[in-house]
Amino acid sequence: MVEIITHGVQLIAAHRFPAKPEHLFSRESSSGTTTSKESRRLNLSSSSALKGRYRLDLTLKGNAGSAARTSHGRSFKGAGAQDKVMLSFCGPTNQGDLYHNGEPELQAKVEFTLGVGKKLGRVGWERLEVYEGGGSETDRRGKTGRSAAFSAYRLIDPKVGLSEDDHHSRQTILIFAQQDTANFLSRLPDGTPLGGLTLPGTHESCALYGYPISQCQQPSTPILQQLRDGIRFLDVRLRVVGGELLMYHGPRPQRSTLTILLSAIHDFLSTHPGETLILCIKQETPPWHPHFSSLLYKAFKPFLDRWFLEERIPTLGEVRGKGILLSRFDRSADAEKGDWEWEEGMGIHPSRWPDSREEGFEWDCAGTTVRTQDWYRVHTFLQIPEKLEAIITHLDPTIMPSSSTSDNNANTPFTLSYTSASYFPLSLPTIIAKGFGYPSWNFGVEGINIRFCRYLLGLIRDGKRIRATVAMDFYRQSNGGGLSVGDGNDLADLLVLMNVVGVELADRLTAESLAEKGG
């Protein structure tokens, strides 16, 4: 079963390329059976009720009743497991038009093999290469180079058979126009409550060093890069050393300071005035410093106009160009001045934060429910499935049709879910996030990231989205080992996409089997 889901692109055509001459479609003629060696154009059908959804019809024009045979001698109607399908599509111009002077702009192609091998079947998804080009002579498929304007994925139903020749599987091809992750909030309505957004975030955002115990992010993703990638929730831990607020994770200093962090945040918000971000700050202890709150306020005081410090959940329009403080520390009296700091407020200030509660916890913030899941004491990598289940269970109440905004109101709960976990020595941050070994070969363990990508793709396929802030470790590393399924910014890209994707939730098209509809 195959269907195609698109957002921001328009399909132009689909072609099938048989793997070998003997696998091609054949037809009867007066002189006997002849075999065509040319690629065949396929039929694409869609429904106006399901915008962006297509089913692939492999019935060849003028060749009804033809058949193909695989190298294993099994006969399938119309297509072989090793045959490839190429989808041609176009994206919008800089002016937002799909066509210019009657010709499609930004033409691109993606191809995939019909058969689902065992490795892909186990992992359940892969990122497909997208090539730009509209007829180049570089090769028969007109590839000219990898495209940065589009992304494409193949999602496999985990319940299907996993034989090497299986092309009866339910497959979904998802093709998206690449989002401007540095500016995605600027396109959303001002009245959207913070809880109505889907925000990628990082746990221990500044923990770039101290592998394998303290490191939680790649050195190639400093704060400014994270913000460009769409990260809008930053989680940092500070320790007072010699009167200065330094970044720490556990015992390991992170070669940065609060001053450096605030400079990067302010620079980004100044050049991206339609954006906002949440900064969660916690004191890294021991040791406990009695004047942590006062020192922090002193650092923020010159920039108070750039921060939302009211102790409530704002709407997007209220915080554009500003940061939102989430304070995981208590206000303390300044003994020398005899007055209270943070008179403007402490931003989103949790009334409680129970340690590592698997089921999560809730608290009230000026009439808005804040739901939090921060189960991090996962004792062994064998509990990774349990951690994923805790994440999904926590996010399930936020799921809504992707085109719906009816539940976005001032009292929409704000949901914060951490995908991170760590416990020495069998569940270090890198193990929990990335797994180890070669799970696609049944020799290793999948990490949270590759599993969470599969979950997000499934939601998009089903026309759904989550409304939550998700804090992650190693957010740019979502591959599974042994199979190049994901690379780059998959997790953040998919979370950003959930804010803009417009797939209608209705009775979904049931795609016809490629094999049964062939020929």
Q: What angle do CA 493, 497, 503 make, to 5 degrees?
A: 145
For residue 234, give the nearest of 472, 429, 465 by alpha carbon: 472
Q: CA-CA distance, 38 to 36, in Å (whole number)?
A: 6
The gap between the terminal CA atoms of the chain, to the nearest Å, is 16
Query: What's the half-sphere exposure (Cβ side, CA atoms, 13 Å) at 211?
Result: 8
For residue 174, give the nearest of 28, 286, 11 by alpha carbon: 11
Q: Cβ(509)–Cβ(484) under 8 Å? A: no
CB atoms near residue 63 (< 10 Å): 15
Q: Cβ(453)–Cβ(234) under 8 Å? A: no
DSSP 433-450: HHEEEEGGGTEEEE-HHH
Q: CA-CA distance, 276 to 206, in Å (whole number)?
A: 18
- Four-point Cα dihedral 288, 289, 293, 299, nearest 10: -120
| Active-site amino acid positions | 203, 249
Omega before 439 within 30 of 0, i.e. cis? no
Could you tell me how far CA 346 lies from the centroid of its own chain?
Answer: 30
**SS3 sequence, 365-404?**
ECCEEEEEECCCCCCCHHHHHHHHHHHHHHHHHHCEECCC
Q: CA-CA distance, 314 to 345, in Å (whole number)?
A: 13
N residues, the chain: 519
Residue partners of 517: CB distance under 8 A and separation at least 6:
57, 58, 59, 77, 78
CB atoms near residue 275 (< 10 Å): 22
Q: Cβ(505)–Cβ(404) under 8 Å? A: yes
